[in-house]
Structure 1
Amino acid sequence: MTFPNDETGQVLAEMQTAGIDLNEIHQVVFFQLFEQEQQARAMVAHLAEQAPDMQVELVPDELPNVWDVNCTVSMVPSYDAVIAQEAEFELLATKFKGYNDGWGIEA
């Protein structure tokens, strides 16, 4: 399987090379970053209401005064699906004054 020449394509290619079957459902974690805990908590509350089955975790980042909202989605990590989900999270995080900071698979 080949992937587009961008960051998402590169990550998927590396996962495939590492032996991860990208045709199976995986727990894909999308990372949102916030400079204020209140903004992060607002996004967590929104997701609890709008997507109650989604696993959402709020944790302090390694950097001081930065908060992570990690959103886990069960999905087949195809290039198009990851790009679409990232775009949705970017719009949502922006609404709460945060931003999407990538994704990964729990392997």
Structure 2
Amino acid sequence: MTFPDDETGQVLTEMQAAGINLNEMHPVVFFHLFEKEIQAQAMIAHLAEKAPDMVVTLEPDELPNVWDLNCTVTMTPSYDAIVAQEAEFELLAKKFKGFNDGWGIEA
């Protein structure tokens, strides 16, 4: 399987080379950063209502005054699915004054 030559494509290529079967369902974690815990908590409340089965964790970042909000979605990690989910999370995080910080697979 080949992927586009961008960051998402490169990560998927590396995962495939490491032996991860990208045709199977995996827990994919999408990372978001917030400057204020209350902003992250607002996104958590929204997700609890809209996607109650989603696993969401919040923890302080190693940088002061930064909060890490991680959202785990079980999905088949195709290029198109990752890009679409990231775009959806980007709009949502922006609504709560946060931003995306990438994604990864718990393999």
Residue in structure 2 matched with residue 76 of structure 1 by the alignment: 76
Please, what TM-score do these two structures have when normalized by structure 1?
Answer: 0.99
What amino acid maps onto 2:17 in structure 1? T
1:23 CA drift (Å): 0.3
In structure 1, runs of 5+ residues without a counterpart are none
Structure 1 outlier segments of 4+, above 6 Å:
none
In structure 2, runs of 5+ residues without a counterpart are none
Pairwise mapping of residues 82-97 of structure 1 onto structure 2 (< 5 A)?
A: 82-97=82-97
Q: Deviations over 1:22-47 (max 9, x none)?
A: 00000000001000111001001110
1:62 CA drift (Å): 1.3
Residue in structure 2 matched with residue 106 of structure 1 by the alignment: 106
Residue in structure 1 matched with residue 13 of structure 2 by the alignment: 13
Q: Deviations over 1:51-79 (max 9, x none)?
A: 00000111111111100110000000000
Question: CA RMSD, aligned part only?
Answer: 0.4
Q: Distance in 2 between matches of 1:46 and 1:69?
A: 13
Q: Distance in 2 between matches of 1:43 and 1:58?
A: 11
Q: Distance in 1 between matches of 2:62 and 2:40?
A: 15
Please, what TM-score do these two structures have when normalized by structure 2?
Answer: 0.99
Number of matched pairs: 107
Pairwise mapping of residues 38-53 of structure 1 onto structure 2 (< 5 A)?
A: 38-53=38-53
